[in-house]
């Protein structure tokens, strides 16, 4: 499907439907209709079966009930998973041979936001064409199937245990984590009852933080978007490392024994290098436009191909599939290991890093030295309307001047936001003061042209 057709979607964004609870479309009425519409689409080839999972937001109960009622009204059977990480729902959708999986979550957002995303029967994000089909059904008046065709609803009580075992299967059987002291930050989110158990059962001593959700504290000062709490706990407890997940468990940021943050770019490099050393790296690595230039240079030194995709895990996935590679990710900690699972998985990604530590007999701090992070400076420039900035002559000339000053030891990125009327101006290079100066100069030109 072309970008033009995808733009016709009214509700689905790059990661499902998301917004503030109570503001359309994040309302019970809409979720009822969305469940019915999705059920109509997924049951066209026979009686459907759809799984529903959620994170720990208080509004999740409300939206779970609405989606469940809509799906049942369309004649689809529903299995409820309760609080479960996003990647767990993708995995269970595959293993239960369901037509789709639904995640009720707003990922790393505060509790007052929520949203819905779908997985196909293969555990992957839906194609644009399927999302457009669901939106088309939303335009129709809601009807209920005959009473003998109404969907049945059940609960999968051992969902968490099944997923714990899957995560453990992604760690080499010849290794264990005995002797490791690990701080695990669950962001008061969907991994609170899963992540600590995975690392404990593999032999680690686990210190839990962010593992007491109350419906309102998800991502509140903890998790992968707020790693300072993790860093402080790692150093104060003299732990070997820390693992911070986000609210729905598909991202991970780690902290080494010195309390230094190890972001998604550095984790991706560690996994790539360990796979190359073990002879298991298939092709190259996919990053995004925002991946640090240091990642690109480090991979280049190891003769590992590197490709940048647009920002967003669905674009990373698309580029991996196009190249038939397995490893990609974003600096936010959303990492894809397609040989193990179909979507970003924070727990599985952390296990790959721990495996690399054991294989090389090196600490996380030692492994992160393989990448020298380049200073980045980004400025958001407000604009009257989103335009193709790369086609404006004054901006093109300013980019050329900036790139010439970097002398091949950095890069420039101008990226219109997909959600607000701003152009993101980013400059990367070896020298902090030079990077800031060049970013400010370029931002002034952009503001004069489109501000």
Higher pLDDT pick, 217 / 423: 217
If asked whether residues 253 and 269 sit together in one domain, one would say no
Q: Provide the token pair at 98.
A: 């369901």
Q: Average pLDDT, stretch 24-30?
A: 98
User: Can you give the pLDDT at residue 139?
Assistant: 95
If asked whether residues 10 and 151 sit together in one domain, one would say yes
107 catalytic per annotation:
yes
Structural domain boundaries enclosing 110: 3-159
Cis peptide before 368 (omega within 30 of 0): no
| pLDDT for residue 417 is more than 80 | no
Q: Cβ atoms within 10 A of the Cβ of 449, count?
A: 17
If asked whether residues 16 and 90 sit together in one domain, one would say yes
User: Which of 143-152, 167-176, 361-370, 385-394 is predicted least confidently?
Assistant: 385-394
What is d(CA 107, CA 439) in angstroms, rounded to the nearest whole number?
30
CATH code of 438's domain: 3.30.310.50
If asked whether residues 14 and 147 sit together in one domain, one would say yes
User: Can you give the pLDDT at residue 6?
Assistant: 46
CATH code of 345's domain: 3.40.120.10
Q: Confirm whether 169 is domain-assigned.
A: no
Last residue within a domain, chosen from 258, 283, 299: 258
Q: Confirm whether 168 is domain-assigned.
A: no
Q: Confirm whether 165 is domain-assigned.
A: no
Q: Cβ atoms within 10 A of the Cβ of 436, count?
A: 15
Confidence band for 44, pLDDT divided at 50, 70 and 90: confident
Q: Average pLDDT, stretch 204-218?
A: 98
Summarised one tens digit per residue, pLDDT across range 361-411 is 999 999 999 999 999 999 999 887 767 777 889 999 999 999 999 998 899
What is d(CA 191, CA 249) in angstroms, rounded to the nearest whole number?
6
| pLDDT for residue 187 is more than 60 | yes
| pLDDT for residue 277 is more than 80 | yes
Q: Provide the token pair at 97.
A: 């041979």
Q: In the chain, pLDDT over 70 holds for what percent of residues?
A: 97
User: Can you give the pLDDT at residue 116?
Assistant: 98
Burial (CB < 10 A; 0-12, 13-18, 19+), residue 246, is buried
Q: What is the largest CA-CA distance in the chain?
A: 72
If asked whether residues 327 and 437 sit together in one domain, one would say no
Q: Cβ atoms within 10 A of the Cβ of 61, count?
A: 12
Give yes or no for a contact between 6 and 125, defined as CB atoms under 8 angstroms apart: no
Sign of the Cα pseudo-torsion (62, 65, 69, 75, in order): positive
- Helix 28-42, helix 59-73: angle, nearest 10: 40
Confidence band for 87, pLDDT divided at 50, 70 and 90: very high
Query: How many Å separate Cα 60 from the centre of its chain?
Result: 19
The chain-wide mean pLDDT, for the chain, equals 94
If asked whether residues 292 and 353 sit together in one domain, one would say yes
User: Can you give the pLDDT at residue 205?
Assistant: 98
| pLDDT for residue 327 is more than 80 | yes
If asked whether residues 133 and 209 sit together in one domain, one would say no
Last residue within a domain, chosen from 368, 387, 403: 368
317, β-bridge pairs: none
If asked whether residues 97 and 24 sit together in one domain, one would say yes
User: SS3 string of the chain?
Assistant: CCHHHHCCCCCCECCEEEEECCCCCCCHHHHHHHHHHHHHHHCCCCCCEEEEEECCCCHHHHHHHHHHHHHHHCCCEEEEEEECCHHHHHHHHHHCCCCEEEEECCCCCCCCEEEEEEEECCCCECCHHHHHHHHHHHCCCCCCCCHHHCCCEEECCCHHHHHHHHHHHCCCCCCCCCCCEEEEECCCCCCCCCHHHHHHHCCCEEEEECCCCCCCCCCCCCCCCCCHHHHHHHHHHCCCEEEEECCCCCCEEEECCCCCEECHHHHHHHHHHHHHHCCCCCCCEEEECCCCHHHHHHHHHCCCCEEEECCCHHHHHHHHHHHCCCEEECCCCCEEECCCCCCCCHHHHHHHHHHHHHHHCCCHHHHHCCCCCCCEEEEEEECCCCCCHHHCHHHHHHHHHHHHHHCCCEEEEEEECCCCCEEEEEEEECCHHHHHHHHHHHHHHHHHHHC
What is d(CA 300, CA 305) in angstroms, rounded to the nearest whole number?
7
If asked whether residues 82 and 209 sit together in one domain, one would say no
If asked whether residues 253 and 309 sit together in one domain, one would say no
Confidence band for 416, pLDDT divided at 50, 70 and 90: confident
| pLDDT for residue 5 is more than 70 | no
Burial per residue of 299-333, b for 16 or more beta-carbon CB atoms within 10 angstroms, e otherwise: beeeebebbbbebbbbbbbbbbeebebbbbbbbbb
Q: Cβ atoms within 10 A of the Cβ of 58, count?
A: 15
If asked whether residues 11 and 127 sit together in one domain, one would say yes
User: Can you give the pLDDT at residue 233?
Assistant: 98
Q: Confirm whether 164 is domain-assigned.
A: no
Closest CA to 336 of 298, 277, 300, 286: 286
User: Can you give the pLDDT at residue 4?
Assistant: 40
CA angle 386, 390, 392 (to 5 degrees): 85
If asked whether residues 113 and 15 sit together in one domain, one would say yes
| pLDDT for residue 7 is more than 70 | no
Domains contained in the chain, number: 4
Give yes or no for a contact between 227 and 244, defined as CB atoms under 8 angstroms apart: yes
Q: Average pLDDT, stretch 180-198?
A: 98
Q: Confirm whether 51 is domain-assigned.
A: yes
- Per the residue annotation, which of 43, 74, 79, 107 is the catalytic one? 107
User: Can you give the pLDDT at residue 90?
Assistant: 98
Q: Cβ atoms within 10 A of the Cβ of 407, count?
A: 9
Query: Rounded to a whole number, what is the distance in angstroms from the first to the last CA of the chain?
Result: 32
Give yes or no for a contact between 209 and 224, defined as CB atoms under 8 angstroms apart: no
Closest CA to 86 of 130, 134, 121, 118: 118
């Amino acid at each position: 499907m072309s970008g033009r057709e995808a733009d016709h979607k009214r509700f689905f964004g790059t990661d499902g439907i998301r917004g503030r609870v109570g503001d359309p479309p994040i309302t019970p009425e809409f979720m009822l209709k969305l469940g019915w519409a999705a059920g109509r689409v997924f049951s066209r080839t026979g009686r459907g079966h759809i799984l529903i999972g959620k994170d720990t937001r208080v509004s999740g109960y409300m939206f779970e009930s609405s989606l469940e009622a809509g799906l049942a009204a369309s004649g689809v059977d529903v299995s409820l998973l309760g609080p479960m990480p996003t990647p767990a729902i993708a995995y269970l959708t595959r293993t239960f041979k369901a037509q789709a999986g639904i995640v009720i979550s707003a990922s790393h957002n505060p509790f007052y936001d929520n949203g819905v995303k779908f997985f196909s029967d293969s555990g992957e994000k839906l194609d644009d064409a399927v999302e457009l089909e669901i939106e088309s059904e939303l335009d129709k008046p809601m009807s209920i199937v005959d009473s003998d065709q109404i969907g049945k609803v059940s609960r999968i009580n051992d969902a968490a245990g099944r997923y714990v075992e899957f995560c453990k299967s992604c760690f080499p059987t010849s290794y264990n984590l005995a002797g490791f002291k690990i701080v695990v930050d669950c962001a008061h989110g969907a991994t609170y009852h899963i992540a600590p158990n995975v690392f404990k059962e593999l032999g680690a001593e686990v210190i839990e933080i962010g593992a007491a959700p109350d419906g309102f504290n998800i991502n509140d000062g903890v998790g992968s978007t707020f790693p300072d709490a993790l860093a402080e706990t790692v150093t104060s407890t003299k732990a070997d490392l820390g693992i911070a997940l986000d609210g729905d468990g598909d991202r991970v940021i780690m902290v080494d024994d010195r309390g230094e943050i190890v972001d998604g770019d550095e984790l991706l490099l560690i996994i790539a290098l360990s796979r190359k050393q073990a002879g298991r790296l298939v092709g190259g690595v996919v990053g995004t436009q925002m991946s640090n230039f240091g990642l690109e240079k480090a991979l280049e030194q190891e003769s590992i191909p590197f490709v940048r995709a647009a920002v967003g895990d669905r674009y990373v996935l698309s580029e991996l599939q196009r190249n038939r590679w397995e490893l990609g990710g974003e600096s936010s900690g959303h990492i894809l290991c397609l040989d193990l699972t179909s979507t970003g998985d924070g727990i599985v990604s952390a296990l790959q890093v721990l495996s690399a530590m054991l294989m090389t007999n090196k600490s996380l701090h030692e492994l992160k030295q393989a990448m020298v992070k380049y200073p980045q400076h980004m400025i958001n420039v407000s604009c009257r309307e989103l335009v193709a900035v790369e086609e404006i002559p004054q901006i093109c000339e300013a980019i050329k001047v900036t790139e010439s000053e970097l002398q091949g030891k950095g890069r420039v990125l101008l990226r219109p936001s997909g959600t607000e009327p701003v152009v993101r101006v980013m400059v990367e290079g070896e020298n902090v003061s030079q990077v800031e100066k060049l970013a400010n100069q370029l931002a002034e030109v952009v503001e004069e042209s489109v501000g």
